[in-house]
Amino acid sequence: MKQEILVLGAGMVGVCTALHLAQRGHAVTLVDRRAPGRETSHGNAGIIQRESIEPYPFPREWSTLLRVAFKRGADVNYHLGALPALAGPLARYWYHSQPARHARLSLAYGALIEHCLSEHEPLIRLAGADDLVRREGYLHVFRERATMRDTVAKAQRLAERGVNHRVLDSDALAAAEPALRRRLAGAVHWTDPWSVSDPGELVSRYAALLPGLGARLLAGDAATLRQTAQGWAVRTAEGEVQAAQAVVALGPWSDPLLRGLGYRYPLFPKRGYHQHYTGGEPPRLTLLDADGGFVIAPMRRGVRITTGAEFARLDAPPTPVQVGRAHRLASELLDLPQAVDPEPWLGARPATGDMLPVIGPAPRHRGLWFNFGHAHQGFTLGPLSGRLMAELIEGGPTRVDVAPYSAARFG
């Protein structure tokens, strides 16, 4: 039966949810305060990470924790005043990062990641977005041999689960990336992932398919969502819109909305920054500096440097100290003389305490659905997550067993 459905949030996850529902003939209204792909989905490193079948665990080595505590790297920053509110979710994150627990949840995580390319491919084709996509993988580059040895060991272990890679020694890396200004220990070339030269534009092109499928894109405030006798309603620029079903796909803004409905889940934002630079020779492929903790990505607007995680309140003012650190470290590798952006971009990733997304029905509200909490991989997993949501709403079989991602796991 075809239904009227609200989708709240026009990032990669929300847009793909709307697309899959509209392709099945449902009357879909996609609502966001901004145009599609202008928030978190705009600011990432642009990698569809087929190799990332294990989520990022909380670091457990004392050397790493001390470096984080004293804010010595570009990978992690934190606001001291935000830590009390984040203590509960971060404690869960620490708990689930214990090796045996992490190995178990990685099976559920990998079950999603393994479909990311096959789910993006038809949407890229429909959207005419091949000009944005390179299918050549990306590089983890290493300043220290010890770091490289650890990652090579991990790559060999992941190869048993179908993840492909090549190991480049110092000479091979220098030949593959002539723009590098200094010799490095080497690299792991993850050959499966795809890179996107403008992540926000890819989301926009996916969203541009919606009107042709009869869906509406409206500016509106998701915080006005309310339950009605017939289903759900939200205020938009064109007045209040009502539907039988509503999907919350608001990324890091899902938590404030859910709290208003009485849900208390271990959700927290991982903020991150990027800035573009021009004037020098860009790398051929995207580079993740494993020792520096940042990514250097060739983009349409220049070379994008993206930082690691900042633990802070979602609405806290920007503190882009990581950008400066990352640029100093990146300038040791590449010539990056001119900043394109007047100020660094700031966004936030939606993370959960057990590193798995939330995909499924709301436990206590009929006709309400959740599709959020993808942390670093919303851009990677949006098409599959949207498909799973559409399959769940229709009550049919799902491409992947969705039980591990149910909100009911939080009690």
Q: What is the pLDDT of residue 65?
A: 72
Give me 43's structure tokens: 């600011």
Instruction: Indicate the pLDDT class of residue 21, thresholds 50, 70 and 90.
Output: very high
Residue 359 has pLDDT above 90, yes or no: yes
- Domain residue spans of the chain: 1-57+98-132+195-266+353-411
Tens digits of residue pLDDT in 188-245: 999 999 999 999 999 999 999 999 999 999 999 999 999 999 999 999 999 999 999 9
Tens digits of residue pLDDT in 27-55: 999 999 999 999 999 999 999 999 999 99
Instruction: Indicate the pLDDT class of residue 72, thresholds 50, 70 and 90.
Output: confident
Q: What is the pLDDT of residue 71?
A: 77
Supply the pTM of this predicted model: 0.97
Query: What's the mean pLDDT when you consider all of the chain?
Result: 96
**In the predicted model, what is the mean pLDDT of residues 163-187?**
98
Nearest C-alpha neighbor of 370 from the set 232, 195, 246, 207: 246
Residue range 1-57+98-132+195-266+353-411 in CATH 3.50.50.60: yes
Instruction: Indicate the pLDDT class of residue 282, thresholds 50, 70 and 90.
Output: very high
Instruction: Indicate the pLDDT class of residue 64, thresholds 50, 70 and 90.
Output: confident
Q: What is the pLDDT of residue 61?
A: 76
Instruction: Indicate the pLDDT class of residue 9, thresholds 50, 70 and 90.
Output: very high
Give me 162's structure tokens: 């179908």
Q: φ and ψ at 29, to 5 degrees?
A: -120, 120
SS (H, E, C) the chain: CCCEEEEECCCHHHHHHHHHHHHCCCEEEEEECCCCCCCHHHCCCCEECCCCCCCCCCCCCHHHHHHHHCCCCCCEEECHHHHHHHHHHHHHHHHHCCHHHHHHHHHHHHHHHCCHHHHHHHHHHHHCCHHHEECCCEEEEECCHHHHHHHHHHHHHHHCCCCCEEEEEHHHHHHHCCCCCCCCCEEEEECCCEEECCHHHHHHHHHCCCHHHCCEEEEECHHHCEECCCCEEEEECCEEEEECEEEECCHHHHHHHHHHCCCCCCEEEEEEEEEEEECCCCCCCCEEECCCCEEEEEECCEEEEECCEEECCCCCCCCCHHHHHHHHHHCCCCCCCEECCCCCEEEEEEEECCCCCEEEECCCCCCEEEEECCHHHHHHHHHHHHHHHHHHHHCCCCCCCCHHHCHHHHC
Q: What is the pLDDT of residue 335?
A: 97
Residue 62 has pLDDT above 80, yes or no: no
Instruction: Indicate the pLDDT class of residue 74, thresholds 50, 70 and 90.
Output: confident
Q: What is the pLDDT of residue 167?
A: 98
Pick the residue with more confidence: 126 or 70? 126
Residue 66 has pLDDT above 80, yes or no: no
